[in-house]
Amino acid sequence: MRIRNILLSLLLLFSTVLPLSASRQAGKNFSGTVLKVIDGDSLIVSRGRGRQEIRLYGVDAPEFDQPGSFACKKWMREHVAGQHVSVLGVNYDRYGRLVAVVRIDGRAVNGLLVEQGLVWVYDRYCHKSICRDWKSAEKQAKSQGRNLWHNLHPIPPWVWRHRKPYHHK
């Protein structure tokens, strides 16, 4: 019983201290190399001697079992993996990932994915001024039938996830 109480105390301590330190770092910029593409909107970037898992801000890529997922991840591997990037942290998500705008040569990867028609602008979470540009790029990709938009009514990932008996992200 005593060990259980100690473990609960430690859990409480870490659950309150870690989010505070994470939120202080969220707005910091850093540069690094993309070490791994996890999926269409998540990657791992070197940060100093460590690594940082990144969730791309303001966009949502198809889920791994959803049409378009392979094309999106392939584009990320071909254009982003191994590249030197600059990261502008926005906040942390509930999984502890840094939600960020990731730039290569001054261009936001988030927006490039939208332009290619590989991701949706995630209106629920995209509130910065850049989101207007991304929304415009999404409309253009849609009107030109690029990638996701070759289908007249592709299912957004946030709808796809809730149709499944379990969640992937």
Positions annotated as catalytic residues are 55, 63, 97
Q: Which SS3 state, helix, strand or coil, does residue 144 take?
A: coil
Phi/psi for 155 (5° steps) reads: -85, 120
| CB-CB contact of 56 with 42 (8 Å) | yes
Rg (CA), the chain: 18
116 by Cβ neighbours in 10 Å (0-12 / 13-18 / 19+) ranks as middle
| Contact between 59 and 124 (Cβ < 8 Å) | no
